[in-house]
Structure 1
Amino acid sequence: MENKIKEILSHYKGVFGVIIKDSFGNRLAINENEVFPSASIIKLFILNRLTKEDYDVIVKLTKEVKVGGCGVLKSLKDGLMLTTKDLAYLMICLSDNTATNLLIDYVGMENVNQHSKENGYLHTILGRKMMDIEAKKAGKDNFTSPKDVERILDILCEDKDCLDMLKNQACNNKLPLYLPEEVELAHKTGELTSIEHDVGRLYFEKGWVDIIVLTKELLDNTDGKKLNNEIGKVVYDYYNQ
């Protein structure tokens, strides 16, 4: 499997970080400490700052907080009342940017970054809200690494609610594209220009395997989707022989 994955990566131009880790203790890592623009993968770290006590807190949707990009809240009626748990589902399942920004306001950007620092996420920074073009122009952005993602995925997959959010992912054109429909993959995607990420836990009969694929400096985003497709198929085939 390792040779096949390295061969897949050799067919594309860009920088790649890959971790494959299974429930039997096996682990493959390529560029695990490389820092990547996180795109929507940063939403996993925001999710991790919500507690069960937070889930029933009501947040109001207003015109001022709506932003473009992924999601449905930008199109819904002003004044809608949602719980933070509702927002978390929208943030993870639909990658809703407005929901994400509301949660950043609720948990606090500083708290997310402080938690990352205190818990040894060496490469993870929440530097701006979603769709904040001015902040990006000022050099502020969101970053993470395959190793940091590996750790946060472990934590989230042990939580029943977070796992359910990841299993209900609506963006399925990367790692799971060539997998049978009945296969369970709890995952989160992220994309920006020249960036295509997908990270998740694939369940099979005897256990699970984490698949973490981060990319940057792609010549074409289609390449990033294709290499995710191919890696997903290789890993699935290996663990379902």
Structure 2
Amino acid sequence: MTDTSTAIGTAFADAGVTGWLHALDIDTGAELDWQGNQSVCTASVHKLPLLVALHERAAAGDLDLTEQVECPPTGRTAGPTGLAAMLDGARLSLRDLAYLMMAVSDNAAADLLLTRVGLDAVNRTTLRIGLTRTQAVHSFGAAMAMIKEDAGPDGVRALADPHVIARLRALDPARANHSTPRDLTRLLAAIWRDTAGTPEHCAAMRRLMALQVWPHRLASGFPFDDVHVAGKTGSLPTLRGEVGTVEYPDGGRYALAVFTRSVRSSAILPAADAVIGTAARIAVDTLRANRKAS
């Protein structure tokens, strides 16, 4: 384990980031921790607890996933993908909004779902699963509004200034949606073990996570046709993260949560993205080796 910790620490250092990681063998319970109890801002990763809460309410009969939702062209939560970037009105089912939320991290779709599900319901769901250090504090639109307000009149350009980054409330776990890597691997394990909801609903959630389009973080560490990766990314200025599962053809299943903070404020830092996959691969290789040795 010492060699593994050294390798993970070196990978984070070489990428110029501070990192937090928790890895869990879903079937044996074996785990690997690198500051995994650290509270982190979840950013769009918190769309995963929202997804679980949506399916919990559907299983209880409180809503129908085929229910149609009007998405007017004005008043949408901002974002670069999905409905958030579209110009015209649309009408979609709750389950198709969930697809956009998970596959392309659509902020507008997420907030339409959050309006229907409720922030309190998301927190009740995470507490039910035992995630005692996970809390949804605000909507995704509110997070964007906080960043805009804290950045000041210079807008996005101000986010290149480390002093501005330091005052962003969205990067403070005490004031933003937050969790820990350990809590998030517990959530993933519950989805993959069919204990986060009914088997039918857990299968639906796994399907959506497998449809995520971003290959540059967690999936980059597992470039194999026979290894299945499903995940959900999250990003804020200097913050990058992804939670997800990796499934091997021999049946091994591993839950991973990796977050990084970079010193540089550049929006594009390939090394900071790729180290999420690198660190995850180191952790999974260790868990697999230990499983074979036991």
Structures share fold, TM-score greater than 0.5: yes
User: Following TM superposition, by how much is the alpha carbon of 1:70 offset from its aligned partner in structure 2, in angstroms?
Assistant: 3.5
Equivalent position to 1:156, from 182, 187, 191: 191
Residue-pair matches, total: 240
Please name the residue that 1:42 is paired with. 46
**What is the identity, as a one-letter code, of the residue corresponding to 2:30?**
N
Indicate the SS of the match to 1:131. Answer: helix
The Cα shift of 1:181 comes to 4.1
- Please identify the structure whose Cα radius of gyration is greater: 2
SS in 2 for 1:55: coil
CA distance in 2, matches of 1:167, 1:107: 23
Task: Flag structure 2 segments of 5+ consecutive residues without an equivalent.
Answer: 151-168, 170-174, 195-201
Query: How far off is 1:26 after superposition?
Result: 2.1
8 Å CA contact retained: 1:128, 1:135? no
Q: Is the alpha carbon distance of 1:64 and 1:156 closer, same or farther for their aligned partners in structure 2, counting shifts above 3 Å?
A: farther
1:224 aligns with 2:253: no
**1:147 is matched by which residue type in structure 2?**
R
CA distance in 2, matches of 1:61, 1:231: 39
- The code of the aligned residue for 1:121 comes to L
**Alignment equivalent of 1:201, drawn from 245, 263, 268:** 245
Which whole-Å deviations, capped at 9, do the CAs of 1:37-96 have from their partners, x for residues lacking one? Answer: 111110011001113443122111112342222422131531x22111111111111101
**Residues 115 and 233 of structure 1: is their aligned pair in 2 closer, same or farther, counting only changes over 3 Å?**
closer
CA distance in 1 between partners of 2:235 and 2:45 (Å): 9
Query: Greater helix percent: which structure?
Result: 2
Give the counterpart of 2:181 among 120, 126, 146: 146
**Identity of matched residues, %:** 22
CA contact (8 A) 2:227 2:249 kept: no
TM-score, scaled to structure 1: 0.87
Contact 1:65 1:101 in 2 (8 A): no
Structure 1 segments unaligned to the other structure (5+ residues): none
Distance 1:31 1:235, change over 3 A: closer
Contact 1:195–1:218, Cα closer than 8 Å, also in 2: no
Flag the 1:65–1:114 CA change in 2: closer, same or farther, 3 A: farther
2:92 aligns to what SS in structure 1? Answer: strand
Aligned residue among 228, 231, 235 for 1:191: 235
Q: CA deviation at 1:214?
A: 1.4
Q: Deviations over 1:115-154 (max 9, x none)?
A: 3345432222222222334455595521111121112112
Offset from partner CA, 1:206-239 (integer Å, 9 cap, x none): 2212221012354354442131132244356664
The residue aligned with 1:126 is 136
The superposition leaves residues 132-177 of structure 1 with CA deviations (integer Å, 9 ceiling, x where unpaired) of: 3445559552111112111211223331100011111101111212
Maintained 8 Å contact 1:19/1:146 = yes
Q: Hey, what's the Cα distance between the residues in 2 that align with 1:218 and 1:110?
A: 34
Superimposed CA distance per residue, residues 6-65 of structure 1 (whole angstroms, 9 cap, x where no aligned partner): 331343444322112123332101212211111111001100111344312211111234
Q: Please give the alpha-carbon distance, in whole angstroms, between the structure 2 residues aligned to 1:189 and 1:134.
A: 20
CA spacing shift, 1:171–1:102, aligned 2, 3 Å: same
Deviations 1:90-112 (Å, cap 9, x if unpaired)? 11111010000001100011221
- TM-score normalized by structure 2? 0.73
User: Equivalent residue for 1:82?
Assistant: 92
